[in-house]
Structure 1
Amino acid sequence: MISKTTIDQVYETARLEEVIGDFVQLKKSGSNFKGLSPFSDERTPSFMVSPVKQIWKDFSSGKGGNVVAFLMEHEHFTYPEAIKYLAKKYNIEIEETERTDEQRQEADERESMYLVSEYAQKHFAQMLWESELGKAIGLSYFKERGFTEDTIKKFNLGYCLDQWDGFTKAALEEGYKLNYLEKTGLTIVKHDGQNPNNPKTFDRFKGRVMFPIHSMSGRVLGFGGRILGNDKKAAKYLNSPESDIYHKSKVLYGIYYAKQSIAKEDNCYLVEGYTDVIQFYQRGIHNVVSSSGTALTPEQIRLINRLTKNITVLFDGDAAGLRASLRGIDLILEQGMNVKVCTFPEGEDPDSFAKNNALEDVQRYLEEKSQDFIQFKAGLLAQEAANDPIKRADTVRDIVQSISKIPDAIKREIYVQECANIMKVSEGVLFSTLAQMGKKVASDTAKKQQPPQTAFDVVKNDAPEEKVDVQYLLERKIIELLLLYGDEKQEFEDLVLKENEKGDLILEPESIEAKVYEKIYLDLQDDEIELANEQFRNIYYKLIEALNQDTNFTINTFLSGLDQPLVSEISSILMEEEKYVLHSWERKDIYPKEKKKGVAQLVSETILTLRCFLIKKRMTSLQEHTKESQQDHRETLEEIMNYLQLNKLLNKKLNRVLS
């Protein structure tokens, strides 16, 4: 187990905005940062990061928390994995306490699969550099491709010996379980019905050079293997099968190495193969990723969308490849991204072009030859249509179909104008076609969503009327006040219930100085009020204890000791208001009153409002009791009258008029 000292040091050192910035493109928004949600498909940023509070909130999915919570949500890390990741990022030495056998057994399946994959990567690299066959076959191949030794090591390239079960035997000898070797797809297991305890095993990647596939955080998810022999029956490239940790439709090769450069350059080059990525990286262009030989998917595009809105798709001159690329371009447009296309001269691909040209020449070529998608598509389809008017009409319709995928109305109009210029068609016709396509999509969507309805059916709205849970909101506000101002000293005006000379009850003000948490705790204690919401109640007692014991209370350290559901709830409470904050009022010479300056009043009003709510609730309960019971109600009615008088006094203090 990781020691508490290490965990505390990680929380003190890690900067939330830096860590999240590795995965999401963040932009300054007042004192906070904003970005697109990494957990949902959105086009308007609702993901907020507070450097001051060191918490984040994703308003589209409802998730939130601290730096560790982000890694656990985004990378599916366990708590120890997240701590280790941060320790590595900030060069913190990890102190570990001895783990019990029971704790070792609790290591979850995903972690075991990650460990097997990481071992495989190291084993294949070792075979490449240290075995005679690895050096003669694998290393020679990589060097023939033009990769330097530094590049080969950077991308953790390797070689799987051409043996039936060489890797499997080595892994089993190291103590890795066959179960996880099979689940990651590294080993193929053939079970023998006659001898079930002694299955046959085969290395999936035998005789192949190995390309490890990493997650955005650098964990090994799977592998791509290229065969070097002349076996025509074997696939040239072979990927790891789908597993709990590897989903090829959600992974981009090279994203781990490219993420910072993509965010910095605000552009991502998308290529087809592993060697395209490596060759570009070696040449000095780092913002490049590959779909690993699979058709581009919305999940892969969203992965890029977290880092930039701009994609440049790079293709060789192969006609079939260009045709297939058009489908990928439409997907990119649907995600609201800007897409350009760059094709290479005949006989060249991104790999060979980067290998045979200097960095400046490659950069110049990419800049000069990258076309907007509309120009590329129009040019490609116009060549095919030639002088055939029917084909030309189909080409125009095809281009308008792509334009219809764009969610932004202004962009759609600009592209229609450009298409009209290129294809020599009037804008009016194109806009009319676009509108027809839009109506058809809307109609089809409505048909899918609308349940079948028989004639003369009476449609009744059974949706229950939403009611505001006043007590929930007030308890939530109490937690917020404790989190933000709990340790601050304030001057409070306390209210003491007394009788005047006439015998009437009055509230007499008394001034006291106390910390916010002391005031809230004592007031709730005096009234014997316990928070009704279980989660708030749990947070409340933990907060009171922490504020009472820790002289240097910070939200970050407080969150480090809580379970994930509580961390998420607290981040929601703290970040809710940030969503609606308007910044830079001072530029307009408007100086709104800071919330911090009215803390004492806000605390008092919240407690008073809660008292009024609970008094009203108690009176309602007593009134219902009198209706149901046949007993003498004089005492109950007297209690109700006392509550009415108290309620009137409290509301008067709150400047509220009662009917």
Structure 2
Amino acid sequence: MARIPKETVDQIIHHADIVEVVGDFVSLKRKGQNMWACCPFHHEKSPSFSVAPAKGLYKCFGCGKAGGVVQFIMDIEGTSYVEALKYLAKKYGIDVEEEEKTPEQQLAQNEKDSQFIVSNWAKDHYHNLLLNTDEGQSIGLSYLRQRGLNQTTIKTFELGYSLDQWDDLMKTADKLGYERKYLEKTGLIITREDEQGKDTGRRYDRFRGRVMFPIHNVSGRVIGFGARTLKPNDKTAKYLNSPESEIYHKSDVLYGLYQARQAIRTEELCYLVEGYLDVLSLHQGDIKNVVASSGTSLTDGQIRLIKRYTDNVTVLYDGDAAGIRASLRGIDMLLEGGLNVRVVLFPDGDDPDSYIRKVGDQRFKDHLENASQDFIQFKTDLVAREAAQDPVKKAEAIRDVLQSIGKVPDPIKRQVFLQQTSQAFSIDEQVLITEYNKLVRNATGKAAGGTNSGGSGLGGAQTSGAAPASGAAPRPAPRPMSPEEEAEALMYGASPEDLAGGGDTLMAPKEDLEPVPDVQESCEREVVRLLLLYSPQPLAPEVSVAQYLLQQLDDTPFKTGIYGDLLHLCREELEQGRWPEVRTLIQHGRSDIRALVAELATEKYELSPNWTTHQIYVPRELDQLQIACDNAILRLNKVNVERELAIRLEALRHPLDDDAMMEHLQTIRLLKQMDNQLAGMLGTVIPRSAQ
């Protein structure tokens, strides 16, 4: 296993800005001190993913993913710790010196990394064949130039060519020491089998005599290939793609996203096309915010990829009516994913690639601007034309449009779309609302196994299987509150339990709540939290929070292992002349330590600036650290006393000799006195003098 010196690791972590790194994968927006986005690790429509620049960590309050800058790369890319460090080193121009390894040792580092390595090598091999061999230049490069692609585009997308030979790639890989098993795992070579499905021992290249389109993940690593044959009347498929592998899952990949992600974020818009050449031609025409589904049906994974960078998608279609109808389901999925969807059509016979080459860059951009229309309006016009004067077809067309409207999460947008549909079909809006609510009830009923359990109904129509009380309006199904809405509700006096049901109004707490955590664990957690967040803060001249807490805790046992371990790490940092900082401990080798540090250091809610605007002073924990530290120590001591008292009282239930009985009684008396004193100091009992 490769080893990176600690000095280099420290340098990488010091230079890596978590906002810059995370910002390469999601679109962050500042709210208060932190940055927020929709989580890249799970599907969500309201942002619950927070980045704290001052602490150098991220935390998702939805799925629980958390950590520092290295952990983020490990999570998003599925790489090892070492590979994540290399990624960051490359980004920040830091040289990483490792122990020298043979090609075989490098490949054996782990299965996944080895597949990345051979895929990257194959990309370079194909690119070299395209530019520097007679066959590559005369066939592959000639084709690309014929399609109008220049040298810059070819290099930007690292296009290549595979020689029309059975084993060129395999033989070259053998000479350089790359193991065939990784070429097979990535689908670069194929095993020939006999009629019984047994391995014949023969291997050959998958891609032969084809222009190669490397497929990159969002960090720029090659994970697979698309390949186009150039042979006329070839019986094989025109396009051939890499098979699924450990590093390539086509349902989670969009061609061109690596090259387009910054432009998508800047333009706040993603153009979605079908083919490789569509992406290449538009990118060359200075329309860089374009990606392709590569001819596959749109998937949830691809939609989540787009939503990392923008909420706005414009789908570019050719004029083929059959192709448009086949793609409508995919656009419904975009709507369901919370994206704002528009559509641009091109004249019959043209696709984005052919049209931009025909009319030029500027006229193409003008067409994108002038021909863009909202998808619901586009679909309404399309099905209305097809239905014409046929009443049956018209009714089905209306239901088809209503199904798409039902995918839109925003209730205001749904209402607007219903009004537009009413006008387009010349049908009363209330009739549409009634039909829409019927579709919602049917859909939710099927989802609940036949029980109508709610839905996103409109216009006051009942969407629940139970009848409302007489004279009462039906209650809509609650939607989850966003973190910002929860914070605002809490600011105005709601308790966390009030928010248990979510929705537009405060709900009664759920009866099936999670069990109350162990009191001992909670007290230990609070002490460690204060130590972690406020170590260098002064409590008195030359006495910091860290020094005070560790001195007070010198003889106090911790019962929860991980809190004891973190306390020990903090003590070690202090003994070595360093403050126990979140930025340091978040990079610890133990994943449970990293997760705990992230959890303790992340604050879900921030105080609204409205309090300051209205000149209302709200005390902060930072202003009351002495009280917070004293209370944490007192509570921990009290829970330890109570635990020991319970042990002693339990002992009295068993037979004891006189001496043991007296010793227990004396200890119990002392423990009760200590417990009362601690309770008085905490203010949890009323002293007799005050009664």
> TM-score, with normalisation over the residues of structure 2?
0.87
Aligned partner letter, 2:8:
T
What is the CA-CA distance between 1:284 and the residue it aligns to? Answer: 0.4
What is the CA-CA distance between 1:103 and the residue it aligns to? Answer: 7.0
Matched, 1:656 2:684: yes
Partner of 2:650: 624
Give 3-state SS (helix, strand or coil) of 2:604's partner.
Answer: helix
What is the CA-CA distance between 1:593 and the residue it aligns to? Answer: 2.1
Q: How does 1:258-657 map to 2 (within 5 A)?
A: 258-447=260-449, 466-491=515-540, 514-526=543-555, 529-551=556-578, 554-575=581-602, 577-579=603-605, 581-583=607-609, 585-632=611-658, 633-657=661-685
Partner of 1:498: none
What is the CA-CA distance between 1:554 and the residue it aligns to? Answer: 3.8
- Contact 2:535-2:580 at 8 Å conserved across structures: no
Q: Distance in 2 between matches of 1:465 and 1:634?
A: 42
What is the CA-CA distance between 1:564 and the residue it aligns to? Answer: 2.8
Report which stretch shifted further, 199-208 or 1-10.
1-10
- Contact 2:59-2:65 at 8 Å conserved across structures: yes
Report which stretch shifted further, 533-542 or 181-190.
533-542
Give 3-state SS (helix, strand or coil) of 1:280's partner.
Answer: helix
- Contact 2:445-2:451 at 8 Å conserved across structures: no
Change (3 A) 1:99 1:520: farther
Q: Deviations over 1:255-313 (max 9, x none)?
A: 10111111111111000000101111110011110001100001100110111111111
Change (3 A) 1:404 1:289: same
Change (3 A) 1:124 1:17: same
Q: How does 1:25-64 map to 2 (within 5 A)?
A: 25-64=27-66
Report which stretch shifted further, 552-561 or 99-108.
99-108
Report which stretch shifted further, 174-183 or 588-597.
588-597
Change (3 A) 1:587 1:102: farther
Change (3 A) 1:357 1:585: farther
Matched, 1:149 2:176: no
Aligned partner letter, 1:544:
R
- Contact 1:313-1:341 at 8 Å conserved across structures: yes
Q: Deviations over 1:45-99 (max 9, x none)?
A: 1000011111110111111011110010011121121111111211222222345
What is the CA-CA distance between 1:192 and the residue it aligns to? Answer: 6.9
Aligned partner letter, 1:634:
M
Change (3 A) 1:448 1:11: farther
Change (3 A) 1:365 1:488: same
Q: Distance in 1 between matches of 2:653 and 2:368?
A: 83
- Contact 1:162-1:207 at 8 Å conserved across structures: yes
Q: Deviations over 1:340-392 (max 9, x none)?
A: 11111122211112223343322221111111011110111112111111111
Q: Distance in 1 between matches of 2:391 and 2:640?
A: 78
Aligned partner letter, 2:530:
L
What is the CA-CA distance between 1:449 and the residue it aligns to? Answer: 9.6
Partner of 2:189: 187
- Contact 1:546-1:558 at 8 Å conserved across structures: no
Aligned partner letter, 1:483:
L
Cα root mean square deviation, aligned: 2.4
Q: Deviations over 1:91-119 (max 9, x none)?
A: 22222234599975761100000001001
Report which stretch shifted further, 404-413 or 295-304.
404-413
Q: Deviations over 1:417-442 (max 9, x none)?
A: 11111111111111111111111122
- Contact 2:106-2:114 at 8 Å conserved across structures: no
Give 3-state SS (helix, strand or coil) of 1:447's partner.
Answer: coil
Partner of 1:239: 241
Partner of 2:213: 211
Partner of 2:162: 160
Give 3-state SS (helix, strand or coil) of 1:133's partner.
Answer: helix
Q: Deviations over 1:519-539 (max 9, x none)?
A: 22222223xx23222222222
Change (3 A) 1:448 1:137: farther
> TM-score, with normalisation over the residues of structure 1?
0.91
Aligned partner letter, 1:541:
H
- Contact 2:269-2:310 at 8 Å conserved across structures: yes
Q: How does 1:54-203 map to 2 (within 5 A)?
A: 54-98=56-100, 104=106, 107-190=109-192, 199-203=201-205
- Contact 1:151-1:278 at 8 Å conserved across structures: yes
Q: Distance in 2 between matches of 1:537 and 1:384?
A: 70
Give 3-state SS (helix, strand or coil) of 1:560's partner.
Answer: coil
Q: Distance in 1 between matches of 2:251 and 2:260?
A: 18
- Contact 2:191-2:199 at 8 Å conserved across structures: no
Aligned partner letter, 2:53:
P
Aligned partner letter, 1:540:
L
- Contact 1:3-1:97 at 8 Å conserved across structures: no
What is the CA-CA distance between 1:562 and the residue it aligns to? Answer: 3.1
What is the CA-CA distance between 1:197 and the residue it aligns to? Answer: 9.6
What is the CA-CA distance between 1:553 and the residue it aligns to? Answer: 5.4
Counting aligned pairs with the same residue, the percent is: 42
Give 3-state SS (helix, strand or coil) of 2:294's partner.
Answer: coil
Q: Distance in 2 between matches of 1:139 and 1:101?
A: 31
What is the CA-CA distance between 1:518 and the residue it aligns to? Answer: 2.2
- Contact 1:192-1:199 at 8 Å conserved across structures: no
Give 3-state SS (helix, strand or coil) of 2:517's partner.
Answer: coil
- Contact 2:585-2:597 at 8 Å conserved across structures: no
More relative contact order in 1 or in 2 (CA 8 Å, sep 6+)? 1
Aligned partner letter, 1:211:
F
Change (3 A) 1:318 1:20: same
Q: Distance in 1 between matches of 2:5 and 2:647?
A: 52
